[in-house]
Amino acid sequence: MPTDVLSPEMLTCRQLSHLARAMLVRFPDDYLVTGFLLNARITHRCLEGHLYKDRWRWHVDGVWITTAEIAELTERYGRWVIRTMDGEIYVVADFHAHGGRKSLRYLVEQFDSAAQTGSLWCVH
């Protein structure tokens, strides 16, 4: 599991482009975005990735984080917006090259199955 910091100077042009486009999206006022993630993937129902523009400024840009358990997945304006059980909201700027999108699809399938049973987990 990566524990290093991916500083903005180390980003590729592609990563910078993905991050900039995600940050330019104007989300509704009820979406107080906690941060933007590069190289995102989902493990054990938690989101992992390199965090940028941490709203609380607890972390330096590019630090690898693991969030609280995911409560809600929403696709807005072509971006995946993920709300965690502790109420934080993360926007995925791009997915990890090795299984990032696959991990998202797997969780979406789990949430769809849970919705059929009346669970509070949901995908919008």
pLDDT at 58: 87
- pLDDT > 50? residue 1: no
The rounded Cα 83 to chain-centroid distance in angstroms is: 9
pLDDT at 10: 92
The rounded radius of gyration (Å) of the Cα atoms in the chain is: 14
- pLDDT > 60? residue 2: no
Q: Which residue has the tokens 């524990």?
A: 3
- Name 46's bridge partners: 43, 69
> For residue range 43-58, what is the model confidence (pLDDT) as tens digits?
999 999 999 999 988 8
Q: Provide, rounded to the nearest whole percent, the portion of the chain with pLDDT above 90.
A: 63
Q: Which residue has the tokens 């995925």?
A: 92
Q: Provide, rounded to the nearest whole percent, the portion of the chain with pLDDT above 70.
A: 88
Query: Residue type at 100?
Result: G
Residues in contact with 2: Cβ distance below 8 Å, sequence separation at least 6, in sequence order: 39, 50, 64
pLDDT at 14: 95
pLDDT at 107: 87
